[in-house]
């Protein structure tokens, strides 16, 4: 659907983000960045997501100054608290109990950097996710599939965890890890991609 007109690098190991870009026919290099992902004292979730995206992109942009680097970081948050990946099955159950029957926010920070062109666009997009109220037995059965153990918020909306979600307000792809509408609009605006004729 699109052609990349300039060198693109995705500074992420996320298979879901990679697949999103591949689905649109974009050629890119995947170079995950290793950074400290610890929130600062008092740091708000949106600020944290933006900082993580910018730091990931910044590490790779410094190594490849002529390339355009996309960095992204997705956080799940409720009551102003960031909910990371569960440490184990018991922690996953604790997280899912916290989210059960309530609405939480999923925020993706995104950065587009190019050192040579002097570009540094950093933003955050938020979606609201309403969870159904399933029993502990159902949640435990889901945890036994193993899916929640490597997911922020202990669920994957793009797979089995979709059954937990009653509704999404905002971008659904944002919940998965990349706000596609915003991302593609940004790449188009900078002349980095073009529709295939």
> pLDDT tens digit string along 99-146?
999 999 999 999 999 999 999 999 999 999 999 999 999 999 999 999
Range 68-76 average pLDDT: 97
User: Of all helices (H) and strands (E), which one includes residue 176?
Assistant: helix 172-176
pLDDT at residue 154, as a whole number = 97
Range 83-91 contact pairs with CB under 8 angstroms and sequence separation of 24 or more: 83/152, 83/153, 83/154, 84/152, 85/149, 85/150, 85/151, 85/152, 85/154, 86/148, 86/149, 86/154, 88/149, 89/143, 89/144, 89/149, 91/154
Residues counted in the chain: 197
Q: Which of 126, 120, 151, 130 is nearest to 46 (CA)?
A: 126
- Name beta bridge partners: 104: 129
Mean pLDDT of 27-42: 95
**What confidence score (pLDDT) does residue 62 get?**
97
pLDDT band of 160, cuts 50, 70, 90 = very high
Residue 116 confidence (pLDDT): 97
Interstrand relation of 29-30 and 8-10 (parallel, antiparallel or unpaired): parallel
Q: What is the pLDDT of residue 58?
A: 98
pLDDT range class, residue 53, cuts 50, 70, 90? very high
**Structural domain harbouring 187:** 2-195
Q: Which of 36, 73, 79, 136 is catalytic?
A: 73
Cα 79 to Cα 74: distance, rounded to the nearest angstrom: 17
From CA 128, how far away is CA 105, in angstroms rounded? 5
> Per-residue confidence at 171, pLDDT binned at 50, 70, 90?
very high
* pLDDT-derived band at 64, boundaries 50, 70, 90: very high
The domain tally of the chain equals 1
Active site residue 73: yes
- The CATH number that applies at residue 23 is 3.90.950.10
Mean residue pLDDT of the chain comes to: 97
Q: Is the C-alpha dihedral spanning 182, 185, 191, 192 positive or negative?
A: positive
3 state DSSP class of 108: strand
Predicted pLDDT of residue 127: 98
pLDDT at 155: 97
pTM of the model: 0.94
The dihedral of CA 51, 43, 38, 153: what is its sign?
negative
Residue 107 is predicted with a pLDDT of: 98
């Amino acid at each position: 659907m699109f052609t990349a007109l300039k060198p693109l690098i995705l500074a992420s190991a996320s298979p879901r983000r990679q697949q999103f870009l591949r689905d649109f026919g974009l050629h890119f290099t995947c170079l995950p960045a290793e950074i400290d992902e610890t929130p600062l004292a008092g740091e708000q979730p949106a600020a944290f997501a933006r900082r993580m995206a910018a730091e990931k992109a910044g590490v790779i942009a410094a190594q490849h100054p002529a390339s355009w680097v996309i960095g992204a970081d997705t956080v799940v948050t409720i009551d102003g608290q960031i909910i990371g990946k569960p440490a184990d099955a018991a922690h996953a159950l604790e997280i899912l109990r916290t989210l059960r029957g309530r609405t939480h926010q999923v925020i993706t920070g995104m950065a587009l950097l190019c050192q040579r062109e002097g570009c540094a666009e950093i933003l955050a997009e938020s979606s609201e996710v309403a969870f159904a109220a399933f029993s502990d037995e159902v949640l435990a059965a889901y945890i036994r599939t193993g899916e929640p153990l490597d997911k922020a918020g202990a669920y994957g909306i793009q797979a089995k965890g979709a059954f937990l979600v009653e509704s999404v307000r905002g971008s659904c792809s944002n919940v998965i890890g990349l706000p596609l509408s915003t991302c593609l609009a940004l790449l188009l605006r900078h002349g980095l991609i073009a529709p295939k004729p």
